[in-house]
Amino acid sequence: MTGFQGRHFLQIPGPSPVPDRVLRAIDMPVIDHRSAAFAELGKAVLSGSQKIFQTSGPVIIFPSSGTGAWEAAIVNTLSAGDKVLMVETGHFATLWQKMARRLGLDVEFIPGDWRHGADPAAIGEHLAQDKDHAIKAVMVVHNETSTGVTSRIALIRKAIDDAKHPALLLVDTISSLGSADYRHEEWGVDVTVSCSQKGFMLPPGLGFNAISEKARAKAKTGGMPRSYWDWEDMLKPNADGFFPYTPATNLLYGLREAIAMMLEEGLENVFARHKRLAAATREAVTHWGLEVLCQNPEEYSPVLTAVVMPPGHDADQFRKIVLENFNMSLGAGLTKLSGKVFRIGHLGECNELTLLAALTGIEMGLSIAGVPHRAGGVDAAMKLLEDRTSANAANH
């Protein structure tokens, strides 16, 4: 931006701001990716990533965006013609479903209203009816970035187990990992897909697959034709800290630092901070008299809040006013939510004061844009955040 002093406020739900500590870590000479020094870095990020995914199994790191990691999950575990069950939680679930179809999968897409997460009971019913186990995978988005709705993965796992169904469970944690509590191993997920530019607080450029033994076994004997995305090609050199092709060396320096930051804070504290900031955001939004898009309090996203614009007011016009007046980017409504919602990111490098500044910019923006609202939303958020010791604050 020109004409502004101070930092740009990047309050979109990813890419999220990169902490200075991570920027410093990335600012290093590129090293020989076949050297002993690189192997040390490789081993550190591969084992460190396991802690963030909460798994003792392998985590694969591709030089890619999240979309690449989506494709890797599919081509390693599924074959053209395989039936898969997916749920329309929003824009990103819809895109992953389109990719699955393009790769030749037979997708059963449970319709959704973009205001709720994937319903474990509906998944259970579909699986119970699938007596001959034609469904090879259940594929869901943990945190639907277009709506601010989180799906309950542990309950979905339970629904699959209750139906005694052997389908794989593939989960997109692209905007939740490192922000919302997520347990790859405990929740029995077969492939967890993620990327660098959200909870990991890194620039875009790394895609992740955490994989179960069952998924790896499937990949060894099946999957689709693949080369770049092949897991085994990665896992062999990974055992010694190396990669089969040139890795994104400097992003890996950043990843090592970001993991250190998350572990220093403690994952529990990271998750609690995100919940607290999300609760404060909803407090402001409801005080303003605006509506949170997510309709089920058990599915509120700790990562972002999507806010419904009152009828007759355009969310993109409002976002433009906020950007031009206060140098802050808010997330746009995507596809069918275009112009109808704006999204507030409160993830990664975000604390109480960052959030309050962002909410202040929004409250001023609402006044300038002439959007009817009740003043004092920031005050309401402050009150919630002042109550730092209350266990209720995080669960509000």
Q: Which residues from 144-173 bind ligand PLP, rule CB under 6 A?
A: 145, 172
**374 among annotated binding-site residues:** no
Taking the C-alpha atoms of residue 384 and residue 71, their distance in angstroms, rounded to an integer, is 41
Number of amino acids touching ligand PLP (CB under 6 A): 12
Q: How far is the CB of 146 from ligand PLP (least distance, A)?
A: 7
Q: Out of 12, 14, 302, 305, name the contact with ligand PLP by CB under 6 A.
A: 14
The yes or no reply on residue 175 touching ligand PLP (CB under 6 A) is: yes
Q: Which is nearer to ligand PLP, 173 or 288 (CB)?
A: 173
Does residue 141 bind ligand PLP (CB under 6 A)?
yes
In whole angstroms, the minimum distance from the beta carbon of 289 to ligand PLP comes to: 28
Q: What is the dihedral of CA 171, 44, 39, 17, to 10 degrees?
A: 70
CB-based burial, 96-133: b 16+ in 10 Å, e otherwise = bbeebeebebebbbbebebbbbbbbeebbebbeebeee
For the CB of residue 336, give the shortest distance to ligand PLP in the complex, in Å: 16
Q: How many angstroms separate the Cα of 350 from the Cα of each of 164, 345, 394?
A: 42, 9, 15
Nearer Cβ to ligand PLP (92/288): 92
Q: Which of 356, 355, 340 is nearest to 293 (CA)?
A: 340
Is 89 a binder of ligand PLP (CB under 6 A)?
no
* Shorter beta-carbon distance to ligand PLP: residue 48 or 331: 331
Q: Does 174 bind ligand PLP (CB under 6 A)?
A: yes
Cβ proximity to ligand PLP, 15 vs 58, nearer residue: 15
Dihedral angle of Cα 309, 194, 168, 121, to the nearest 10 degrees = -20
Least CB distance from residue 14 to ligand PLP, whole Å?
Answer: 6
Q: From CA 138, how far away is CA 93, in angstroms rounded?
A: 12
Q: Is 286 in the site for ligand PLP (CB under 6 A)?
A: no
Closest residue to ligand PLP using C-beta atoms: 66
Q: Using CA atoms, how far apart are residues 266 and 270, in angstroms rounded to an integer? A: 6
What is the distance between the alpha carbons of residues 218 and 239, in angstroms, rounded to a whole number?
A: 20
335 Rama class: left (phi>0) / alpha (psi -120 to 50) / beta: left
Phi, psi for residue 159 in degrees, rounded to 5: -60, -40
In the range 48-77, which residues lie near ligand PLP by CB under 6 A? 65-67
Nearest distance in Å: CB 204, ligand PLP:
6
Supply the minimum distance, in Å, between the C-beta of residue 69 and ligand PLP: 8
What is the distance between the alpha carbons of residues 244 and 253, in angstroms, rounded to a whole number? 18
**Closest to ligand PLP by CB, 98 or 236:** 98
Sequence ranges of the binding site for substrate: 343
For ligand PLP, the binding residues (CB under 6 A) are 14, 65-67, 92, 141, 145, 172, 174-175, 195, 204
